[in-house]
Structure 1
């Protein structure tokens, strides 16, 4: 900018003979606050151009910020993933001033599909669509051509899309990554020969691709959450059904007092215990009275059963339910304990063989008239009998294999005379396998000692049951939970 030089001694009169105070008729140049000449309009052209450039850049920046803010709002607000994906090519092309954009997603089966395509207003992109679809079909064919679907080769996809579009289209593509796995590509293109993919434009496209990945992952997490909620509800129903299948309370049997408790490690467990009347009349009375047998029917024989399905969770619970139904049908045939286990094994063998699971089962029948206990064991933990008269501890066991292991196996049978004060505990391996923080198991020795102490100091089967559960909980620690189901049945012979 040129400046008019200013005289050292200030402005001189134009006409020396004229009064200095008289106004001059020659126009004076305007000055600034410092007395310097102000720039002319011709000198202002570069300043205005610079201001216009800055204003235009600010408008572009605000436009980009508004578009990205709108995309973030859509990400938070939209519940439909497809509605959100419709915005991706549009936003990607507008923030970069490109002609259009395309979103390509990879399906779990190896298919590559053009999900969305957008072209700016007035632009024709039918040839773009055909070119990208042709490239995706070719990459899909190579992904599905082998014995098993494989992830699409993104380098091949980029090459095919670029080759089909030709050199006159300026193309940029970036990955859509979810948990470090590429799930698609976002392409943005322009037909303008002067268009260049600057670092800023590339960053903007990557930012839109990252938002796309977040939306897809959120949608998948929502689907997983709904499936989990549905599974949790089904598990709750299964647990409720299983709880109803177990005895809601112990029956009243002449000369016997009972207590039972089952704690499952999961919502649905594989432990099983039951009290089964051995006559149809008694069974009908059980149904009428909901598990409480009146004194008139208390002299009939009763079966006391405990079992454990290998494994935990829903599969074990289903097998437990099947075992219960088949065993109750066998009991009504009035066979001996050994024959009942043999028939049960033959019936369940085919189903258990296919499931690769087995069942341990201890079956006993008690006769209130004679106080005889008849029993047979299918590889279950033997119940412990504490004899009140001698203070001895016996294991009630017979030879027999797991239910479902061998269809032709046979089972042995035994019996024992019970006396007043004798107490029996039926238990599952959740007691003996319970481990503390050091990895030590509660084992059968600790259970035997605790049971013997309880028989000497506890008056009722309920007190014995509570004490044994408390001992195991103390052993594993108050903050730990047993990893296996725990079931305990206590049977005490009352004085005559």
Structure 2
């Protein structure tokens, strides 16, 4: 697309000279010229022709002079519109005034047309650079807007309000996610499967950002579908179906670690499947803490035929159960120190977490501790926690 240039000069032969000088660029549709005889006429041309990018204007003209015209141009506040001013040789006062008023460059009369060609070419390159930067900025804004929408969609998939039937079943539960980027790959879910069984889980997709968020959405949806289904499949059979579904056509080679649980709210027994996830933490009613022992288990999507196993643990009234992703334990500060698994356990044994009673208080305190620990360092991974306190009825 040709760069449109407005030439403003009261000398009639200037139009002919410019058309002759730039005939090759005009023929190749690199430049296109529009002509005006004074500032007033030039303003009309600017209104008529919206895509003028460069102005070549004389300073000394009847009617509206070039300096006044330049001031009018600046009122338009168009950063992509640049002006080259033309003045008599030695008229440095006017040239200085023009530059102070925002002129990009100048040439002097009598015009050296080789110098004029170089000056216009240099100005056009600058305009094109600014246009590309503006285009990039607009694209970035569009991407950021899309990411904001994607974040809202992703977070809307995660439960925000704990259903009343969970509290009525004797369980205090709270979960949160703090993505490292605009969107992330961590997930969690919880709901009552029936009057006695509470399903809850946490997961972590191997990647980050948009690819991970898409895979997270699929994982969340398939888990919801399987565990909302009141068929007779066991927890192992349901996890196996999820694994087979996610492993099919997994061209991105992502994987998901997960800790999947069903709590019998009457007995406090938790049946779980560990799919290669971080070991949860149990805080007993007497203040003692213990990590759930790792007993094998492979992340989802590695092997569609993998035979998962379920295990059980016992929660007693007053016990707390904390599930988390590695964004908690792998959080580090500017010195490279990791928060660590022992740091998390100590936090709930002798630290601020030991003083918290409700699940929300536990999560809030942990996040505050992590933010303080990370300090000025960047959060490089999603931080997600699901905590519950078993009260029983």
TM superposition score normalised by structure 2? 0.71
CA contact (8 A) 2:21 2:113 kept: no
Aligned to 1:101: 22
Alignment of 1:52-451 (within 5 A): 82=1, 85-87=3-5, 99-101=20-22, 114-116=28-30, 200-252=112-164, 253=166, 254-279=169-194, 299-331=195-227, 332=229, 333-351=231-249, 353-389=250-286, 391-451=288-348
In structure 2, relative to structure 1, the CA distance for the partners of 1:119 and 1:258 (3 Å cut) is closer
Question: Could you tell me how far apart the structure 1 residues matched to 2:237 and 2:245 are?
Answer: 12
How far apart, in 2, do the equivalents of 1:256 and 1:323 lie?
A: 25
Work out which structure has the larger RCO, using CA pairs closer than 8 Å and 6 or more positions apart in sequence: 2
Displacement of 1:117 after TM fit? 6.0
Would the alpha carbon gap of residues 376 and 398 (structure 1) be closer, same or farther in structure 2, given more than 3 Å must change? farther
Partner secondary structure for residue 347 of structure 1: helix
Q: How far off is 1:264 after superposition?
A: 1.1
Secondary structure in 1 matching 2:301: coil
**2 CA distance for matches of 1:90 and 1:401?**
75
Q: How far apart are the structure 2 equivalents of 1:459 and 1:390? A: 11
Task: Tell me which residue corresponds to 2:368.
Answer: 470
- Work out the CA distance in 2 between the residues paired with 1:432 and 1:355: 26
CA contact (8 A) 1:386 1:455 kept: no
Shift of residue 221 of structure 1?
2.2
- CA gap of 1:226–1:367, structure 2 versus 1, over 3 A, is same
- C-alpha distance in structure 1 between counterparts of 2:34 and 2:148, whole Å: 53
Deviation at 1:304, TM superposition (A): 0.7
SS of residue paired to 1:99:
helix
- The 1:227–1:102 alpha-carbon spacing in structure 2 relative to 1, beyond 3 Å, is farther
RMSD over aligned CA atoms reads 3.0
TM-score, with length taken from structure 1: 0.57
Q: Secondary structure at the match of 1:115?
A: coil
For the residue of structure 2 that corresponds to 1:327, the secondary structure is helix
| Counterpart contact for 1:251–1:275, Cα < 8 Å | no
Structure 1: which 5+ residue stretches go unaligned?
A: 1-81, 106-112, 122-197, 280-298
- Residue 102 of structure 1 contacts residue 118 of structure 1 at CA under 8 Å; is this kept in 2? no
Question: Would you say the 8 A contact 1:432–1:442 is kept in 2?
Answer: yes
The whole-number CA distance in structure 2 between the counterparts of 1:237 and 1:371 is: 40
| Structure 2 residue runs without a partner (length 5+) | 36-109
